[in-house]
Amino acid sequence: MTVYELGDDILVVDAGLAFPRDEHLGVDLVLPDFGYLVDRADQIRAVVLTHAHEDHVGSLPYLLREAGVPEVWATKLTLELVASKLDEHGVLRVAELREIVPEDGPFTIGPVVHTGDYKIDHTPVDGIKTDVGKLAEVGNRGVDLLLGDSTNAERPGVTLSERVVGEAFRQIIPARTGRIIISSFASNVHRMQQAMDVAVEVGRKVAVVGRSMRKNINIARNLGYVQVPDETMIKTADLDNYRPHEVMVVSTGSQGEPLSALTRIAYNDHPGVKVERGDTVIISAKPIPGNELRIHDTINGLTKLGAEVLHEEIAPVHVSGHGNAEELRTILALLRPKAVMPIHGEFRMLSAHARLAQEAGVPADAIVLAENGSVVELGPGGPRIVDQVESGMTFVDGLGVGDVRDVALRDRRHMSEDGVLIVVATLAGSNGRISGAPELIARGFGESDELIEELRAEAGRVLQELLSENVSEIKLLQEHLHDGIGQLVYDRTQRRPMILPVVIET
Ligand SMILES: [Zn+2]
């Protein structure tokens, strides 16, 4: 999230979220701390969304609820994807949604260019190439400051075209005799298009699993961004009517998210999709830093079930959506900005982008490396960090996707109000049985002895049920415990304590 201020007006660019790391037990989502904006809510004129990836739009419903925003601007597909998200959160009517037409050029906020995620793809899947002429024209008019994507600034050369992935699918899929399962980000509609194109070519039916994937593919098909014949699409429930070599499953879960479709498939815990020897799973995504271990667990699970798992380290089944160093240089050369503020990336990536800017002729004192909360002032002398404001993370402890209207915002301020509940269950090593009833430690949500007993029994029941279905993955057990116990506490007390499930193997 970037906040622009001119006089008393505030324009927000993107409102993303991060996914919790393992140390954030019991947390579902990580949002930026909106404190600064909440205090200045009446000054916010609009939010502009560069694209619909979760790290750019995921916290918008929470921002709308906390700060209220009169207008949200984005291109057509982003707007539709976001509208459905806002609707689920019951905040669709908070802001007016307004469409930006790319041909009209960038949203004009003065001589500042904010890139969003970009790469320069000369053979894009949708045929719409980077408008190099327009960028040069913007450069000719003069750019005071460039805020540019830095994700791949450390990587030399250029990023491969998205089309390369389609070619890999075309090599891999026709030769396979079992099921094909392809997992990617639900928002990567071009990736899904390329997979489904190959399914059509080889005569496989396609089933879509995972709520966000189903939703996004529906929206993209309705708008014409994804084109698949109706007769190719089948319901998950109908998979059993086809032989393995007749189907392709398109799935969420490329990040090993604990309750996602692919993770559940990997632990034999998915109601509609089974994996067996001869099947091929393609993970068409790169691990977000911090998710590597979860993805390794998923790959191990799938491999144990007999599948061959192809991922970016062993097959060209993913290319980055971010430009490498040469593409960043191209943008710097076209725009010739007077000053540069690298954004989107870890500090080392921002710093690599700063070096590229300097090589491109931007003076060192006109390059600013800002961190979360930094206030950068753009004046006649160039950009300067002049202040640091409240920033950081806010945790969301939701109760699963069916209950998004009621998710609880959790942080240190709120935790004291609804209390904490810690559930500790011990599994006896080799046979994976529960040793004794789970222990419960409750603080401050009006808990009675009867309720604690009921919760303890429920925790035991949830665990037994999972173990009897051969689910023994600690993270999955913890997520199921979290959701089951959270729901019961809410039903009985209308409170949402922070729930910390801890499963220990002895
Ligand atoms: Zn991004």
Which band of pLDDT confidence, cut at 50, 70 and 90, is reported for residue 409? low
Give the tokens for residue 465: 């049920």
Which band of pLDDT confidence, cut at 50, 70 and 90, is reported for residue 112? very high
Chain CA centroid to CA 272, Å: 24
pLDDT at 404 over 50: no
Which among 14, 149, 279, 297 is annotated as catalytic?
A: 149
**DSSP code of 206?**
E
Between CA 221 and CA 209 the distance in angstroms is: 16
pLDDT at 316 over 50: yes
**Cα(53) to centroid of ligand 1, in Å?**
6
**Cα(497) to centroid of ligand 1, in Å?**
32
**Cα(410) to centroid of ligand 1, in Å?**
24
**Cα(421) to centroid of ligand 1, in Å?**
34
Between CA 38 and CA 45 the distance in angstroms is: 13
**Cα(55) to centroid of ligand 1, in Å?**
6
The pTM for the full model equals 0.83
**Cα(485) to centroid of ligand 1, in Å?**
34
Between CA 99 and CA 80 the distance in angstroms is: 10
Residue-wise pLDDT tens digits, 276-300: 999 999 999 998 888 898 899 999 9
Write the CB contacts of 243 (distance below 8 Å, at least 6 apart in sequence). Answer: none
Q: What are the beta bridge partners of residue 343?
A: 149
What mean pLDDT is predicted for residues 406-414?
57
pLDDT at 403 over 50: no
Does the annotation count 322 as an active-site position? Answer: yes
Percent of the chain with pLDDT over 70: 92
Which band of pLDDT confidence, cut at 50, 70 and 90, is reported for residue 432? low
Residue-wise pLDDT tens digits, 3-41: 999 989 999 999 999 877 766 666 677 889 899 999 999
Residue-wise pLDDT tens digits, 436-493: 788 888 887 777 888 999 999 999 999 888 888 877 778 788 888 888 888 888 888 8
Helices (runs of H) and strands (runs of E) counted in the chain: 15, 23
Question: For strand 2-6 and strand 9-13, is the pairing parallel, antiparallel, or unpaired?
Answer: antiparallel
Does the annotation count 149 as an active-site position? Answer: yes
Classify residue 251 by burial, with Cβ atoms within 10 Å: 0-12, 13-18, 19+.
Answer: buried
Which band of pLDDT confidence, cut at 50, 70 and 90, is reported for residue 97? very high
What mean pLDDT is predicted for residues 378-384?
91
Classify residue 37 by burial, with Cβ atoms within 10 Å: 0-12, 13-18, 19+.
Answer: buried
**Cα(56) to centroid of ligand 1, in Å?**
6
Ion ligand 1 residues within 5 Å by Cβ: 53, 55, 117
**Cα(344) to centroid of ligand 1, in Å?**
7
Question: Which contiguous run of DSSP H or E holds residue 490?
Answer: helix 474-493
Which among 114, 190, 318, 322 is annotated as catalytic?
A: 322
pLDDT of residue 246: 97
pLDDT at 106 over 50: no
- Residue pair 46/70 in contact (Cβ under 8 Å)? The answer is yes
Classify residue 224 by burial, with Cβ atoms within 10 Å: 0-12, 13-18, 19+.
Answer: exposed
Which band of pLDDT confidence, cut at 50, 70 and 90, is reported for residue 213? very high
Give the tokens for residue 133: 């002429």
Residue-wise pLDDT tens digits, 57-94: 999 999 998 898 999 999 999 999 999 999 988 899 99
Residue-wise pLDDT tens digits, 295-315: 999 999 999 999 999 999 999
pLDDT of residue 231: 96
Chain CA centroid to CA 425, Å: 30
pLDDT of residue 402: 41
**Cα(440) to centroid of ligand 1, in Å?**
40
**Cα(288) to centroid of ligand 1, in Å?**
11
- Residue pair 319/162 in contact (Cβ under 8 Å)? The answer is yes
Give Dmax over CA atoms of the chain in angstroms.
73
